[in-house]
């Protein structure tokens, strides 16, 4: 079962993500990042690749696409905040 990140888990798993442009929203206990691409096709292609990983891991982002930008918000609804799944998906999104 997935669990909410402990303070230690947050320190170790989230620090590298925050250094890579992710932001914490403490009030919602979410990780957020805006990705910008050359155009709509590139943004949508990235979203398609991301969706395949999200489906494989059964962990789906909250996201919004406007032309060449994709705003991503990660949280684990089942635990009411951030879990290791959010850090894992954030790392994958950064690598796509």
pLDDT per position as a tens digit, 50-84: 999 999 999 999 999 999 999 999 999 999 999 99
CATH number of the domain to which 36 belongs:
3.30.1360.20
Is the residue at 20 inside a domain?
yes
Question: Within 10 Å of residue 48's Cβ, how many Cβ atoms?
Answer: 10
Domain membership of residue 78 as a residue range: 7-95
Phi-psi region of 21 (alpha: psi -120 to 50; beta: other; left: phi over 0): left
Q: Is residue 23 part of a domain?
A: yes
Give me the pLDDT at residue 28, please: 96
Beta bridge partners of 33: 72
Q: Is residue 81 part of a domain?
A: yes
Is the model's pLDDT at 1 over the cut of 90? no
* Total of domains in the chain: 1
Q: Per the structure block, which two tokens stand in for 13?
A: 């798993």
**Residue 2 belongs to a domain:** no
């Amino acid at each position: 079962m997935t669990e909410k990140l402990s303070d230690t888990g947050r320190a170790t798993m989230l620090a590298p993500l925050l250094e890579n442009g992710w932001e914490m929203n403490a009030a919602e206990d979410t990780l957020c990042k805006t990705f910008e691409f050359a155009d709509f096709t590139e943004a949508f292609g990235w979203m398609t690749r991301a969706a395949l990983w999200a489906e494989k891991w059964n962990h789906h982002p909250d996201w919004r696409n406007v032309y060449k930008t994709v705003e991503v918000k990660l949280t684990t609804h089942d635990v009411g905040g951030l879990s290791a799944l959010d850090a894992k998906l954030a790392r994958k999104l950064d690598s796509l």
